[in-house]
Amino acid sequence: ARRADLLGSPASATLLFAAELEDARDRLRDALRDDPQNFEAHVLMARTLRPLLETDAARRAAEAALRLRPADPDALWEAILLDVHRFELAQGDAYDVDFSGTRTLGPVATVRYVESMSPEQHAALEKIRSDISALAAGLPPSRAAHARAFLQRLEGRYEDALASCEAALAEDPHLFEALRLRASILAALRRPEALAAHRVLSSVLPEDPFLLLTLADLEDSLPAGMLAIDRAERLFSSPDLARYHRATLLLRFDRPREAAAIARALTRENPLYGPNWEVLHVAGYLLGDWEEADAALVSWGEQGGQLQPIWWSVAGSRHAEMGRFGEAVEAFARAVEMAPGFAVCRWGLGRSRILNGEVARGVEDLFDAVAAGNLDDRARRALEAQRATMEKSVKKLKTPREQAKFAEGIAFLLRMSLAEDAPPERTEQYGASIATLHNLAFALYEKAGAWKDALRLIPTASLPGVDRPWMPDYRIARIEAAQGRAAQAAQALRAARDRGMESLGAVRGHPAFAAFLKSPEHAELEKEFAEPR
């Protein structure tokens, strides 16, 4: 059939996804050369070009379809989706990153972002709201409910969006786009249900490679994820996208050495694709090969990374880790400028400012980060009630040791505000915030030369989802080396190697190890790390 219900029919999705998108694009170009007035070909062309990221050409196709049929819901929907794509690009890829390679704006983060948008971004979102509302008014009930769900998800109203999806599916249980949207919402809310939903979708469309890649990101075991990627790889004309997802899956299941091998091959074969460099940077960081990680970070930035807040946030973290606090402040300030509503960027900026001696402004940024984070209203009110007192006391913080005590005090306040019967997810959120504060206090004690206090905090200073099992031993080695205790530093680094540290790049790049690098213990360690494990 020439015509397919683009919003609802599994057959229409199969038409595009079972074929190669590049082949579909070429066939549609031939069709439009033969008949420039072919409305269905223009709509299908817009839908084909979107996942190929040929946004300008997709917009021209949607506009051509609207000139032919100004009120057609499928053409209007394609135009709306292109506006949404432009809106999401304006967010600057400011996402929470979990080293799986996937980025999701969860409900809290989305709402915080919407609250902090510029007037231009508010205007763009208002246009999307108006267009979707106008479109929904002329659609059947099932598709109108799906359109509402799409808008609610964009605004961060995930539970409302989920309810709208359920309403759409109650009207039409086979509405494919509602099934897909419901699955993506569940991925941000309840991962086990999302996995079940994506398995159902995959059974409906077993030849959709993009759906298989999403399924791989959700699978709760490495073999199951690899099986989904294997199936997807057979459906692509080029294996590069599947290999990229294979590397990110290996990172998620703590296999950075294998991920790095894939990423190195990808960067050699396609050095212009920024995400390949991102994976190599993460893998190098996890392995302790910070020289390779930093080189990959530079290449990632050159291939578009510098347009993303996440790149500046990562760059800020690397500067801070190496003791370059002024450069860290500059990098995190760029990230906050691009994504003012994201807690991770503000937290990094506050931490770097404090370590750079800008204590008052740093503490202000830390409070702003807490306000933008995932704390519940009760904890946020408790912190705000103490804010004036704490900011006043900041003026008395003259030394890094006093500043570290202050950071520990905020962590204590957070711990005290957590009820004994708090749900596990809230306990996890508070635990992450407390660990981050202890990490800041550790860095301040290290800067002050308060070695005993720094060592005391190492067990609780590891950042969840960021620090690796070898990090505590590496930090112990750093403190020992700073005191001129080369033998003890070497012993701690051997323990770090036993826990997964595969390179001394993290040692060669840090000023605390300057004297250690000239010691015989370091020369012996270089030989040991060069030997295959």
- 312 compared with 388, residue with greater pLDDT: 312
Quick check: 434 and 460 in contact, CB under 8 A? yes
pLDDT for res 8: 36
Greatest mean pLDDT among 147-156, 180-189, 382-391 lies in 147-156
Quick check: 281 and 300 in contact, CB under 8 A? yes
Predicted structure pTM score? 0.64
**Is the predicted pLDDT of residue 389 greater than 80, yes or no?**
no
Q: What pLDDT band is residue 483 in, cutting at 50, 70 and 90?
A: very high
pLDDT one-digit tens code per residue, 306-330: 777 778 888 898 888 888 889 999 9
How far is it between the farthest Cα atoms of the chain?
79
Choose the final residue of a domain: 307, 329, 363. 307
Q: Which amino acid is at 152?
A: Q
Domain contains 193? no
Quick check: 515 and 481 in contact, CB under 8 A? yes
Q: What pLDDT band is residue 331 in, cutting at 50, 70 and 90?
A: very high
**Is the predicted pLDDT of residue 101 greater than 50, yes or no?**
no
Share of the chain above pLDDT 70, in %: 77
Residue 526 and residue 416: Cα distance in Å, rounded?
Answer: 46
pLDDT for res 111: 53
Share of the chain above pLDDT 90, in %: 13
Q: Given 3-state DSSP classes, what are the helix, strand and coil percentages for the chain, each rounded to the nearest 5?
A: 75, 0, 25
Averaged pLDDT for residues 364-368: 75
pLDDT one-digit tens code per residue, 262-299: 999 999 988 888 888 989 998 888 888 888 888 998 89
Residue 200 and residue 409: Cα distance in Å, rounded?
Answer: 49
Q: What pLDDT band is residue 99 in, cutting at 50, 70 and 90?
A: very low
Domain contains 287? yes
CATH number, position 238: 1.25.40.10
pLDDT for res 56: 83
Choose the final residue of a domain: 273, 292, 307. 307
Residue 323 and residue 320: Cα distance in Å, rounded?
Answer: 5
pLDDT for res 258: 92
Greatest mean pLDDT among 75-89, 191-205, 346-360 lies in 346-360
> Token pair for residue 237?
């004309």
Q: Which amino acid is at 108?
A: V
Domain contains 3? no
Domain contains 454? no
- 233 compared with 82, residue with greater pLDDT: 233
**Is the predicted pLDDT of residue 390 greater than 70, yes or no?**
no
Number of neighbouring beta carbons within 10 Å of residue 311? 24
Greatest mean pLDDT among 120-134, 455-469, 516-530 lies in 516-530
Domain contains 103? no
3-state SS of 123-176 is HHHHHHHHHHHHHHHCCCHHHHHHHHHHHHHHCCCHHHHHHHHHHHHHHCCCCH
CA angle 457, 459, 465 (to 5 degrees): 115
The radius of gyration of the chain from alpha carbons, rounded to an integer in Å, stands at 26
Q: What pLDDT band is residue 469 in, cutting at 50, 70 and 90?
A: confident
Domain contains 30? no
Q: What pLDDT band is residue 92 in, cutting at 50, 70 and 90?
A: very low
pLDDT for res 484: 93
DSSP run (H or E) holding 356: none
Beta bridge partners of 51: none
CA angle 368, 372, 378 (to 5 degrees): 95
Domain contains 237? yes
Which residue is it, tokens 């946020």?
380
Which residue in 282, 288, 334 sits closest to 92, CA to CA?
334
pLDDT for res 513: 92
pLDDT for res 492: 94
Distances (CA, A) of 452 to 323, 446, 483: 20, 9, 12
Choose the final residue of a domain: 281, 307, 333. 307
Residue 270 and residue 239: Cα distance in Å, rounded?
Answer: 12
The tally of domains found in the chain comes to: 2
Domain contains 493? yes
DSSP run (H or E) holding 331: helix 325-338
DSSP 501: -
Distances (CA, A) of 40 to 72, 134, 210, 304: 11, 22, 23, 35
Chain mean pLDDT for the chain = 77
* Structural domain containing residue 287: 208-307
Quick check: 371 and 390 in contact, CB under 8 A? no
Residue 490 and residue 524: Cα distance in Å, rounded?
Answer: 9
